[in-house]
Amino acid sequence: MEVTCPEGAILADKRDELMDNLTTSLLSAEGAPDTEFFRNITWIYVNELPAKGILANGRPLNEPTVKVEVTTPKGALSDRRRKLLVNDLTANVRQATGIEDAMRIWILCREIDEGSWGAGGNVVEFEALRAAAKQERESAGTASIESVAPASATA
């Protein structure tokens, strides 16, 4: 994920909690197990811009805005899960920033085509991630129908 906002928009005492909640929301929406492995590969880049670095109508905004860009493998989120994710992320950002007008929070969901995501010098394959999720669930003793059924059947 990538969070872009003006400096100070995220309340200092809420920052760690927000990042934890964003991670939890994404893992939940993807149906991924909430384990150390999956938390460690759910990265968040925070881009805090100078107060006058975000413009509307060519002028600096008086009120903070926040943009959260979520990147997932194609097929990881159904339409229903994506709607839940957008709702959860918006609520988390509102709570951490005090922004009342939810229209000042934009969530952009981007999917990466199979074969177009690489890490560690290798192409990341969605089915390999799904298999890792199944193994993590089984190791934790939390196997569910989602761990054995295709995403389209549970989403």
According to the model, what pLDDT value does residue 141 have? 65
CB atoms within 10 A of CB 132: 16
pTM listed for this prediction? 0.81
- Residues of the chain falling short of pLDDT 50: 143-155
CATH 3.30.429.10 correct for 2-154: yes
Dihedral sign of CA atoms 129, 144, 2, 21 in order: negative
First to last CA, the chain: 21
Q: Strand 105-112 relative to strand 66-73: parallel, antiparallel, unpaired?
A: parallel
According to the model, what pLDDT value does residue 97 have? 97
Integer Cα distance of 47 and 56 in angstroms:
18
| 76 closest CA partner among 36, 29, 33, 143 | 29
According to the model, what pLDDT value does residue 153 have? 34
According to the model, what pLDDT value does residue 113 have? 87
Q: What confidence tens digit (pLDDT) does each residue in 24-40 have? A: 999 999 988 898 988 99
Helices (H), ranges, the chain: 15-30, 36-40, 79-97, 126-140, 145-148, 151-154
| Residue ranges per structural domain of the chain | 2-154
According to the model, what pLDDT value does residue 43 have? 95
Integer Cα distance of 88 and 142 in angstroms:
23
